[in-house]
Every structure is written in C-alpha cells, then in structure tokens.
C-alpha cells in the first residue's frame, strides 16, 4: 500500500538524510525536565537525578517480526514503542525517553515514514515519553526499526526476574492469547484477500483480538498501582513470548520451580470462541502465543490481601522448590512439564 510507485508520493532521495530527519522529528516535544538535550546534537543528555537508569532495546525486522500486508505503518510505529516500554514497566520502572533508529529501502516513500512516525508520536504522547534521538540509514531490503527506551526508578523499587521464592504466588495482569489469535485472524483474511482482492473482510467479531495484535498497550498503570498498594513483587517479567517461556525465565533466574493452574489462566471470551472456530486449544495459545505485553510477577503469600479481588490481577499459580520442576496442572489435575513454546505445539522451535 505504500510502495513507491504511486503518484503524489515523495521519494526519500528528494529530502536527503538531514531533511528527512528534520521532517520526521519536527513535531516531537520534550516534556521531561530530565531530558537536558534531545534531538539535534551528537548525543542526547539525560539527568537521572537520584534514580537508577533502566535501559532496554528491541529490534524489529520486516518479514520476521511484522508483515506490512496487514500491519499498517502507524500501528507498527506505535507497537515498536510499546514493546520497549513494556520491558521498562517489567522492571517496575518509569520510561521517560526513547531513541528510534530506522533502516529503510527506497521502496518506502516519505509518506510511509510519516505514517510510521505518527504512530511513534502518538505512543510518545500517550505514554509521556521524549523522543531524544535515533539514527536513519538505508537498507537494501525491507524496513528495520530499533528502539531504545530509557527509564528511571528508585533503586529499592526495581524488580528483577531473580527474586521469586518457593511458595510465592504467581500473578498475571489482564488476559492472555488475544494478540496471537488476532494475528491468526489477520493472516486468514490476508489469504482470502490474495485469492479474491474484492472480498471485504468482516473483522467486527474479532475487534478485540485484532486490536490486541495491531495496537497493544504496555501496562503503564501497573507500577504506580503496585506502589499505591504498597506491594513490591519479588520478581517480574513482561509477557512477550508467551506465558510458558516467561514462567521458565522467572524460575531459572530465581532458582525455583512453579505450578501453573490451567483453570486459572485468564482468557477473554473472544479468545475462547475464536479458538473453538480455529479448533485450537486456548491453553496452548495462552502458554505459547506471545505478544500479550501483560506483566507476570510473583508476590509473597502475605501480600495476597493487597491484590485480592482486584480485577487487574489473577493468581495463576505458585512457586515451588527448584527440584519440584515447572508444571502445568491441567483441569483434569494432571501435571505436565512446562516447556517453552508449549510443547512446541505451535510448530516454533525454542529460540
């Protein structure tokens, strides 16, 4: 849809590198007093004051992490920011600045990059983030986006993957599996479209799923909520790859085991019904689907009262001694070892 062939499209070569950078970054406003220098010098300058700096990077590659056939560029820009912010929230920290680096082929006109940047700008506005720099270069094939997020936290508030103890409760925010099923729906519609370009997809029944795939929201509400509840998790991680592999990460870092109860896994009704339609097991999807960008954390049992009845949180299991292993306890009360990529049921190998 953004191929360079259309009329009224501006080729990137018309602007030159500096013109392009100026054009794309002209609307960014600095909101944090900790941003001493943003775009426009050799490097940004950040003041962390008494806080510790939290830094994280993600690289997204066309054809590997996204497909522009069903991912509008504005959504891609928004999602690229979310992926990074989610990692900062998973440290119980507050993201404040990002840098955005892109490599683009001549296939993309200026208008395509404007779309991409409108998504980045929206994300920056809604999550109160300063865009303080980046890099722009050409690519011989597709589009690459690398975002680095900088955040801050008081040292005593930072939560690592490594602090879980046996008997801690395992808690998840939101619900799982919707983003993966949204992707299945979009891929199916794309196949139909390829055969019959005049078909009009009816995505209405799948709107929640498609939105979770195309416009995920990082859980910026959770760190302040935890603070208000006077609750510091013992360990935390964000769910980017699927519940199963994230539990394994927490267990390995913390040297504990875990029991996850199948019946407790929070699923939206839309996920349950689309799984029936696609004849896929919804537990498998929650375990291995990924891209949920929810937070998974452990708390001391003594803190249970602080989250009890809170609709943001679901207790899905508990940690055990390391030698007890990591298991899914099924509805039939069978214990199945947890494997990253859920028994490889989705056909993907462990990365």
Which residues are known binding-site members for Mg(2+)? 42, 56-58, 87, 135, 238, 241
Q: Which residues pair with 146 in a beta bridge?
A: 59, 101
Q: Does 191 bind ligand ADP (CB under 6 A)?
A: no
Residue least distant from ligand ADP (Cβ): 133
Alpha-carbon distances, residue 18 vs 24, 108, 303, 328 (angstroms): 10, 17, 53, 54
Q: Which residues pair with 94 in a beta bridge?
A: 152
Question: For Mg ion, which is the closer residue by CB, 144 or 170?
Answer: 144
Select the binding partner of residue 42 from ligand ADP, Mg ion, none (C-beta < 5 to 8 A, by kind): ligand ADP
Span from 73-81, 129-137, 204-212, 230-238 in contact with ligand ADP (CB under 6 A): 129-137
Q: How far is the CB of 160 from ligand ADP (least distance, A)?
A: 30
Q: How far is the CB of 39 from Mg ion (least distance, A)?
A: 11
* Positions in 38-77 near ligand ADP (CB under 6 A): 39-42
**Exposed, middle or buried by CB within 10 Å (0-12, 13-18, 19+), for 246?**
buried
- Which residues are known binding-site members for substrate? 65, 291, 343
Specify the DSSP class assigned to residue 236. Answer: E
Could you tell me where the DSSP H helices lie in the chain? Answer: 12-25, 73-89, 110-126, 178-195, 207-214, 222-228, 243-254, 269-278, 282-288, 304-307
Q: Does 25 bind ligand ADP (CB under 6 A)?
A: yes
Q: Does 134 bind ligand ADP (CB under 6 A)?
A: yes
Q: Which two tokens stand for residue 142?
A: 């597709």
Q: Which two tokens stand for residue 229?
A: 């509840």
DSSP 56-75: EEEEEEBTTTB-TTTS-HHH
* Positions in 107-136 near Mg ion (CB under 5 A): 135
Q: How far is the CB of 40 from ligand ADP (least distance, A)?
A: 5
Select the binding partner of residue 163 from ligand ADP, Mg ion, none (C-beta < 5 to 8 A, by kind): none
Select the binding partner of residue 205 from ligand ADP, Mg ion, none (C-beta < 5 to 8 A, by kind): none
Strand segments (E) across 289-337:
295-299, 313-320, 326-329, 335-337
Q: Which stretches of the chain bind ligand ADP, using CB under 6 A?
A: 21, 25, 39-42, 100, 102, 131, 133-136
Q: Which stretches of the chain bind Mg ion, using CB under 5 A?
A: 135
């Amino acid at each position: 849809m953004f191929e360079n062939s259309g009329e009224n499209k501006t080729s990137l070569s018309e602007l030159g590198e500096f013109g392009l950078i100026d054009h794309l970054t002209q609307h960014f406003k600095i909101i944090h007093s900790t941003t001493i220098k943003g775009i426009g010098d050799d490097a940004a300058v950040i003041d962390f004051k008494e806080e510790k700096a939290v830094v994280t990077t993600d690289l997204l590659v066309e054809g590997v992490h996204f497909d522009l056939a069903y991912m509008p560029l504005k959504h891609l820009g928004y999602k690229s920011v979310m992926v990074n912010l989610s990692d900062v929230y998973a440290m119980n920290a507050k993201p404040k600045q990002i840098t955005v680096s892109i490599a683009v082929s001549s296939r993309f006109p200026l208008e395509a990059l404007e779309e991409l940047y409108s998504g980045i700008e929206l994300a920056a506005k809604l999550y109160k983030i300063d865009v303080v720099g980046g890099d722009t270069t050409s690519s011989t094939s597709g589009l690459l986006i690398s975002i680095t997020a900088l955040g801050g936290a008081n040292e005593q508030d930072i939560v690592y993957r490594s602090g879980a103890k046996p008997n801690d409760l395992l808690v998840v925010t939101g619900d799982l599996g919707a983003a993966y099923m949204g992707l299945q729906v979009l891929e199916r519609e794309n196949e139909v479209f390829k055969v019959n370009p005049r078909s009009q997809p009816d995505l209405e029944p799948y709107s929640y799923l498609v939105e979770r795939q195309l416009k995920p929201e990082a859980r910026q509400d959770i760190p302040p909520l935890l603070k208000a509840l006077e609750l510091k998790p013992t360990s935390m991680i964000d769910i980017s790859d699927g519940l199963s592999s994230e539990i394994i990460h927490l267990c390995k870092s913390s040297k504990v085991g875990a029991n996850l109860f199948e019946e407790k896994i929070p699923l939206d009704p839309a996920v349950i019904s689309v799984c029936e339609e696609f004849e896929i097991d919804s537990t498998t999807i929650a375990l291995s689907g990924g891209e949920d960008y929810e937070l998974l954390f452990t708390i001391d049992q003594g803190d249970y009262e602080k989250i009890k009845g809170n609709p943001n949180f679901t207790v899905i299991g508990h940690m055990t001694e390391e030698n007890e292993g990591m298991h899914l306890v099924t509805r039939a009360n069978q214990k199945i070892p947890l494997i990253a990529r859920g028994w490889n049921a989705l056909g993907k190998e462990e990365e």
